[in-house]
A = this chain, B = another copy of it.
Amino acid sequence: MAKNDTPWQTLDSKVMYQNPWMKVHEDKVLMPSGKEGIYGFIDSKPGVFVIALTGDGKIYIIESFRYPTQKWQWELPTGGIEKDTSPLESAKHELAEELGMTAEKWTHVNTFGPSSNGFMNDVQDVFVAEGLHRSEEGSSEEFEAIRAVKAVTIDEIMTMIKNGSLINGQSLAALMQFIAWRDY
């Protein structure tokens, strides 16, 4: 195979750390320069992001506390895809759990990934949920801390993006895919 088709060669691969949500690999590699080195990255579950649209075109966002940054952030409803669960089933699960809602119509918008070019190999599916109904109850996971939920117009989201109130990369990526899907 031509050098440009596989610019890195894997000489050896080891799992250096794992927990139920991630594996950290360290591979012994030949780098594009031909020099020997190592490459570490995370292997994690795929995930879903949900754009839950109200009848008047508003999008639900959630203020959630994230452990790695130790910060509250505004984000789209999201979660990992459990084994033997489809992306769509996972999206329905997150809508029920985080917003306490069901939807009449689901549309697959796109798939993005990796979330980090250098460190991850994940894949995230983005869905639009329309025809929203409040379900009996929202149940919160033990891993989750949500302190606010609101529905905002796309103009309000653009303002939040511009003023730095919505900055997490994955929600920005999902919104970019939504806008490209809707407008183009």
Are the CB atoms of B184 and A145 closer together than 8 Å? no
Bound-complex Cα distance A112 to B165 (A): 10
A100 contacts B by Cβ under 8 Å: no
Q: A19 contacts which chain B residues (CB < 8 A)?
A: 26, 38, 40
In the complex, per-residue mask of A116-132: 1 if CB is within 8 Å of any chain B CB, else 0: 11111110100000000
Main secondary structure of the interface of A (DSSP, over half): mixed
CB contacts (< 8 Å) of A175 on chain B: these are 176
Give the number of chain A interface residues (Cβ < 8 Å).
Answer: 76
From the candidates B78, B121, B143, B159, name the one contacting A32 in the complex (CB within 8 A). Answer: B143
Q: Check A113/B8 contact, CB under 8 A, given A66-B118, A119-B68, A180-B162.
A: no
